[in-house]
A = this chain, B = another copy of it.
Amino acid sequence: MFTPHTDAERKEMLTALGLNSIEELFSDVPQQFRFPALDLPKGMNEMFVREYVEGFSQANISTKEFICFLGAGAYDHYIPSAVDSILRRGEFFTAYTPYQPEISQGTLQTIFEFQTLICNLTSLEASNASHYDGATAAAEACITAYSHFHGKRKKILLSSAINPQYREVVHTYLSGIQDIAIETILDDQNSLPDPFAIEGSIDENTALVMVQYPDFFGRIYDFSNLIEKSHQKGALVCLIVNPIALGLLKTPGEMGADIAVGEGQPLGIPLSFGGPYLGFIAARKELVRKLSGRLVGETVDKDGKRGYVLTLTAREQHIRREKATSNICSNQGLMALAATVYMSLLGKTGMRQVSNLCYQNAHYAAQKIAQLDGFKVLTPEPFFHEIVIQCPTSVEHINHHLLEEGILGGYALESVYPDLKNCMLLAFTEKTNKEVIDVLCDILKESDHD
């Protein structure tokens, strides 16, 4: 299927090559391994495969029919239909990396605009063209910091209020670097880990201090002091940010951070069971040569017309090979396009609006839940759009209840923070409005009674 050749054409081609059969082309393949049988189901045409694949999709419950209070790194935002209509354009989705700028200005200018939006969102000066996801972007930021100090500073400090999956990925990514030390101070005094607990560990050996904002529990802090202290010790600071929060909140740049990374999924990218998403990395301009991934820069063509090219490619694997800043090649081009279209559509007004809706809905919910018998809101003010609530029974029990009423309940924290028994992390967006929150609270109230 999808091969246009007719038998006659194949024959003509073979004849031109002086061959009798296609098999002869594979004589270099060791005979005993050649042409193995493949135990796969028989191929289907499009009509049947559609039915077959739809069968899988229908075996899921989705946020189309269920209300979703799950967050913890992926958020159920509304995606304007204009976004996908651009993504469906063959000129975008069937092109590859813009190696040939003369016939790739569409992709190049889009990336350039993406970089600009990310810089303006974070108040930093240089953004790359995208990274795999928020977690890997965070890991790359650690490598950036490590190599910024030429490997001479060997400590990476991670706040324990960083998404645990992100911390895991940082550990995995850095596991090839022998002498690096990753520290996460777990402060078990408090029910929710203290993001400032790492402060005491910042020293002259620290390459990077990394915190999350809003943190994994939804809390927001002004990290300006922490950043200043880090800088006093010569360390760099990276904030892991939620881009929707930055519609309203003080930015990494405003706080003095050196690097900001994050997950761009909330910017018009479907949940899609976890991917493909969109990592972004922005930094102060001094760090640009240490950044991973592609960068697009403005220039002119031979007639002086404005245009864009991939630039500083000497950092990258295809030029620099084993000395590259990262091995990344394909990144998340189409997802960066989605985010660029989304941010362009919303613009200044819309970004503030969606940010405010998330904030307001979360605060309303927190107030209502706090009044429910047996429930406690652990996330203190100020917070953005996620809260931790402690439930009177197990999260599993409650979620089961919610599911029966068409609601996907929160994320059970106990699996990753064993101290947080019966705690769930709830996320709110512009889709979880008053009516929906009221329903949630009604069910929570009932679920206590059985």
Q: Give A residues with C-beta under 8 Å from B.
A: 46-47, 50, 78, 80-81, 85, 88-90, 430-431
When C-beta atoms are compared, the residue in chain B nearest to A47 turns out to be B78
A49-B431 Cα distance, complex, nearest whole Å: 13
- What are 11 of the A-B contact pairs (CB < 8 Å)? A46-B78, A46-B80, A46-B81, A47-B78, A47-B430, A47-B431, A50-B81, A85-B88, A85-B90, A88-B88, A89-B89
Task: List residues of chain B with CB within 8 A of the CB of A431.
Answer: 47
Q: Which residue of B lies closest to A431 (CB)?
A: B47
Chain B residues with CB below 8 A from A90, complex form: 85
Q: Which residue of B lies closest to A80 (CB)?
A: B46
Give complex CA distance A90, B430 in Å.
29
Q: Please, which residues of chain B bring their CB within 8 A of the CB of A88?
A: 85, 88
Extra inter-chain contacts (9) besides given A47-B430, A88-B88, CB under 8 Å: A46-B78, A46-B80, A46-B81, A47-B78, A47-B431, A50-B81, A85-B88, A85-B90, A89-B89
In angstroms, Cα B89 to Cα A47, docked, is 23
A89→B93 CA distance, assembly (Å):
13
Q: Across the two chains, which residue of chain B brings its CB closest to A77?
A: B47
In the complex, A81 Cα to B53 Cα: how many Å?
14
* Bound complex: CA A344 to CA B46 (Å): 16
**Measured between alpha carbons, how far is A47 from B431 in the docked complex, in Å?**
8
With a CB–CB cut-off of 8 A, which chain B residues contact A47? 78, 430-431
A80 to B46, CA, bound (A): 7
Shortest Cβ distance from A89 into B: residue: B89
What CA separation (Å) do A78 and B51 show in the bound complex? 11
Q: From residue A142, how far is it (CB to closest CB) to chain B in Å?
A: 38
CA gap between A75 and B431 in the complex, in Å: 39
Q: Nearest chain-B residue to A54 (Cβ)?
A: B64
Minimum CB–CB distance from A431 to chain B (whole Å) comes to: 7
Write out the residue numbers on chain B whose beta carbons fall within 8 Å of the beta carbon of A89. Answer: 89
| Complex interface: chain B residues within 8 A of A81 (CB) | 46, 50
A32 CA / B213 CA spacing, docked (Å): 59
Chain B, Cβ-Cβ closest to A64: B54
Q: Smallest Cβ distance from A49 to chain B, in angstroms? A: 10
Select from chain B the residue with minimum beta-carbon distance to A45.
Answer: B78
CA gap between A90 and B47 in the complex, in Å: 26
Residues on B with C-beta less than 8 A from A85 are: 88, 90
Point out the residues of chain B lying under 8 angstroms from A50, CB to CB: 81
A89–B85 alpha-carbon span in the complex (Å): 9
Q: How far is the CA of A81 from the CA of B431 in the complex (A)?
A: 31
Interface centre among A47, A80, A85, A430 (most CB of B within 10 A): A47
CA distance A78 to B48 in the complex (A): 10
Kindly list the 4 A-B residue pairs having the minimum CB-CB distance in the complex, ordered from nearest.
A47-B78, A88-B88, A46-B80, A46-B81
Q: Name the residue on B nearest A78 (C-beta).
A: B47
- Measured CB to CB, the nearest residue on chain B to A86 is B90
Nearest Cβ on chain B to A229's Cβ, whole angstroms? 43
**Complex interface: chain B residues within 8 A of A80 (CB):** 46
Task: Give chain B residues whose Cβ lies under 8 Å from the Cβ of A430.
Answer: 47
Alpha-carbon distance A152/B50, docked complex (angstroms) = 55
| Min distance, Cβ A92 to any Cβ of chain B, angstroms | 12
- Smallest beta-carbon distance A6→chain B, Å: 10
A88 to B91 CA separation, bound complex (whole angstroms):
13
Give the complex CA separation of A46 and B79 in angstroms: 9
- Across-interface contacts of A78 in B (CB, < 8 A): 46-47
Complex Cα–Cα for A88 and B90 (A): 11
Complex CA gap A46/B89 in Å reads 22
Q: Report the Cα distance A78→B50, complex, angstroms.
A: 10
Q: A88–B88 Cα gap in the complex (Å)?
A: 8
Bound-state Cα–Cα, A81 to B89, Å:
14
Give chain B nearest CB distance to A322 CB in angstroms. Answer: 42
Whole-angstrom distance between the alpha carbons of A50 and B90 in the complex?
Answer: 26
Bound together, the chains give a CA A88 to CA B92 distance in angstroms of 14
Task: Report the separation of the CA atoms of residues A293 and B78 in the bound assembly, to the nearest whole angstrom.
Answer: 43
- Nearest CB of B to A196, in Å: 38
A47 to B46, CA, bound (A): 32
Among the interface residues A78, A430, A431, which one has the most CB atoms of the partner chain B within 10 A?
A78
Complex: A78 Cα to B90 Cα, angstroms: 23
